[in-house]
Structure 1
C-alpha cells in the first residue's frame, strides 16, 4: 500500500544493488550467529566444557592466521572486481592471481602450524585439534565472497554459506558425541566450507565464463605489497578484540578456559552489533561526506545516539540474562561462565563508543591513521591483559579487555584531533 501511495519506493530500494549486497551480507552474518548459538550446547554436551574451550582456542589461532590468508583482499578485491565487471579476461587474471596468492598464504600458515606443533612442541594441550583445524585455512583461501561482492551477485554465495553451516551442524549432531571427537569439530567446519567453495568456483567458471590462468607472480607480489597496510590493520584489530582467549590459555587449565570461552563466544556474537552498524551506514555516510559535510555530521550524530541507546539496552539485557543464557547454551549451571559473561557484558556498549571515529576514518580514507590506532590499541591490550591475567586470572582478563575498548576510543579521538582537526571538530563540536 505504501508503495502504491508513493510514500516509500520499496521496489526501488529492493532493486538497489548496494541494498541487496548489504541484505545478503546481513543474512550471511545472521546465519553464522544463529549456527554458533545452536552449535554451542550441542558441542558442550558432546565433548564437554574443557574440550569445548580447547576447540575454541584452536579456532582463535586459525582465525588469526586466516587474517594472513585474507591479507586485506576482502577490502581491496571487491573494488577491482567492480571496476572490471564487464571484462572477463581481466576478471580471469584477477581471480587467478588472488586465489593463487591466498592458497600460497594458506600453505605457509599451515607450515607454521606444523613447525609449531612438531618442531617446537607448542600448543601442547590441543596440538592435534589445531593440526586438524588447518583445513579451515584453505576454506578461507577458496572463499569467493569478495568476487561476488564486486560483481554485486550476493544471493548465491549467501545461500551457499547457509547450506555450508547447516552441513556443519548436521555433522555435529551425527558424529560429535564424545571428547575424543573434539579434533573433528573444526576439521568438519573447514571441510564443509571447502566443498561449498569449490562448488562456487565451478559456478564462476561454468556460468560466468571466468577462466583460471596460471598465476602471475609479479602481479601477486605487487598486490601483497599494496595490501600490507590492510593486513596489519586487520591483524592488530582482531587481536585487540579476540586475543584474550589466547592470552588466557597461558595461565588457565582446560576447564577454566572452557568456562571463559563460553562467555566470550556469547559476548563476541553480541559485539558484531557495532561492526554491522558501521557496515550498514558506510555507503550513505561516504556519499554525504563527499556532497555535504554538515549533512554527514548530522547523520552520524543521529546514528550514534541511537546506537548508544541500543548498545546500552543490549548490554544490560546480557548482564541480567547471563544465568539464563549460560544455562540454555550449556544445559547446566556454570557459575564461573555466568560471572565472566556479566563482567564482559559492558563490552557491547563500550565498543559502540568508537563507531563515529572509525566511520570518519573510513569515509575520509585515513588508512594510515586507522592502522596507527589499531597497533597502539593492540599493544595496550597485550601488555595490560597479560599483567592483569597473571595477577587476577579470568577477572583480570575481563577488566583488561573492557579497558582496551575505552583506551581504543581515546586513542582514535586523540589521533583524529591531532591529525585531522577539521574532521574531529566537525563531529564533536
Structure 2
C-alpha cells in the first residue's frame, strides 16, 4: 500500500475522526470545570455530576451490550438494506422496552428518596439526557466503518448545546440549566443521527416480530454481562461519595476526575482500536512485548511530567478549592500509572494470545477487589475522596498483577511446548 492509498484509506479516516471526536469531548468538559466551580459552586457542581452518575447506571442497563453485539450482524448484512432495517428496528425496539421499564424504576426511586425528590427537575433532565444517549445509533456508524458521521454529528451539536453554558449559567441557581444543555446535546444528537442513518443508508424503520426482539436480547446477554461489572465499579466512586459524604465531596472528586478522564479518553481508543488490531495482524509476541513496554514507560514519563506541572497548570484555571483538586488529581495520576498498563495487557496483549476469557476474569477479580475495599471503608466509616480513589488503585493493582501472571504463565507454557 503506497502513501496515497494510506492517506485515502478508511482506517486512517476513522482514526482521525476518532481522535477529533475524543479530543473535543475531552476539552469541552475541562473548560467547563473551572467555570462551573466558580459560578454554581462546588456543591451544586457535585449535585449535577451526582445526577449524571445516578442516571449512568440506568444507561448501562439500557445499552445492554447492543453496541457490541450488533457489530457482526450489521457487518454481515451491510449490503442488504432490507436486513439492515430489520436489525436496526429490532435493536431500537429492544431499547424502547428497556427505557420504558427504566423510566418506571427511575421515577419510583426519585419519588421515594427524599434527597432525590427535592431535585426532581434536575433528575428528570438527566433522564431526558439518558433517552438521547439510548436512541443515538452511533453503534451503527461504527459497525459500517463510517466514524466520520459520528464526528460530524457529535462535534457541532456538542459545541452548539454546551458552549451556551458559558453565557446562560451565571449563578448558583442556574445549575439546572447545565443539565438542560447536557440533555439537549444528547437528544438533538440522537434525532439527527437517526435522520442521517435513514437518509444515508436508506434504513426503513419497521415493527418487528416478538421473536426478533427476544433473539437480540439473548444475543446481547454475553456482551452485557462481560462489561456490566467493569462499568459499574469504575463509575461508582461519585455515587458512594454522594450518599455518604455529600455533594461538596462529589464536586471536588469529579473536578479531578474530569482531568483523569481527559487523558484516559485518548489512551483507551488508542489501545482498543489501533494497537489491538495491529498486534493481531503482526502476530509477533516479541515485537508486541517491546511495544507494550515502550508504551508503558512513555505513559509513566508523561504522567510524571503531569505530576510536577499540575500545581502550576491547575492553579491557572481553577481558583476554587484548587489545593484539594490538585491532591486528588495526583492520586488519579498514580491510578493511570497502574490502569494504562493493565489495559495494555488486556485485549491488546492477552487478546492476541487468545485469552479473551482471561481478560474478562481479571476484570471480575478487580471489580470484587474494589467492592471489598469499599465495603471495608463503609463498615469502618472511612469513606473519603482519597480513600475511594485508593480503592480504585487497589483494584487496578489486582487487575495488573493477575494479567502479568497470566501472560507469564502462557508464554512459559508456550516455550516449554516449543522445547519439547
TM-score normalised by the chain length of structure 1:
0.88
Number of positions where the alignment pairs a residue of Structure 1 with one of Structure 2:
412
Matched, 1:387 2:376: yes
Across the aligned residues of Structure 1 and Structure 2, the Cα RMSD in angstroms comes to 2.5
CA contact (8 A) 2:14 2:147 kept: yes
Map of 1:292 onto structure 2 = none
Matched residue SS, 2:243: coil
Could you tell me how far apart the structure 1 residues matched to 2:412 and 2:12 are?
A: 27
Matched residue SS, 1:140: helix
Report deviation, 1:273.
Answer: 4.2
* Higher mean C-alpha displacement, 407-416 vs 26-35: 407-416
Which aligned pairs between 1:217-366 and structure 2 lie closer than 5 A?
217-279=210-272, 280-289=274-283, 295=284, 297-354=285-342, 355-363=344-352, 366=355
Map of 2:395 onto structure 1 = 404
CA contact (8 A) 2:121 2:176 kept: yes
Could you tell me how far apart the structure 1 residues matched to 2:350 and 2:263 are?
A: 23
CA contact (8 A) 2:260 2:333 kept: yes
* Higher mean C-alpha displacement, 383-392 vs 233-242: 383-392
Map of 2:148 onto structure 1 = 155
After TM superposition, which residue ranges in structure 1, 4 or more long, deviate above 6 angstroms?
none
Matched, 1:53 2:46: yes
Of 164, 171, 181, the match for 1:171:
164
CA contact (8 A) 1:54 1:125 kept: no
Stretches of structure 2 lacking an aligned partner (at least 5 in a row): none
Matched, 1:203 2:196: yes
Report deviation, 1:267.
Answer: 1.5
CA contact (8 A) 2:162 2:185 kept: no
Report deviation, 1:122.
Answer: 6.2
Which aligned pairs between 1:72-91 and structure 2 lie closer than 5 A?
72-91=65-84
Could you tell me how far apart the structure 1 residues matched to 2:58 and 2:42 are?
A: 25
Q: 1:363 to 1:79 in 2, by over 3 A?
A: farther
CA contact (8 A) 1:109 1:137 kept: no
Matched residue SS, 1:271: helix
Which aligned pairs between 1:20-169 and structure 2 lie closer than 5 A?
20-121=13-114, 123=116, 127-169=120-162
* Higher mean C-alpha displacement, 92-101 vs 14-23: 14-23
Report deviation, 1:215.
Answer: 3.0
Could you tell me how far apart the structure 1 residues matched to 2:330 and 2:52 are?
A: 24
Matched, 1:180 2:173: yes
Could you tell me how far apart the structure 1 residues matched to 2:94 and 2:36 are?
A: 34
Q: 1:160 to 1:373 in 2, by over 3 A?
A: same
Could you tell me how far apart the structure 2 residues matched to 1:229 and 1:21 are?
A: 27
Could you tell me how far apart the structure 2 residues matched to 1:78 and 1:21 are?
A: 16
Deviations 1:54-97 (A, max 9, x none): 11122122223222222112222233222111110011101111
CA contact (8 A) 2:27 2:262 kept: no
Deviations 1:12-41 (A, max 9, x none): 112222332232222211110011112222
CA contact (8 A) 2:347 2:356 kept: no
Could you tell me how far apart the structure 2 residues matched to 1:170 and 1:352 are?
A: 31
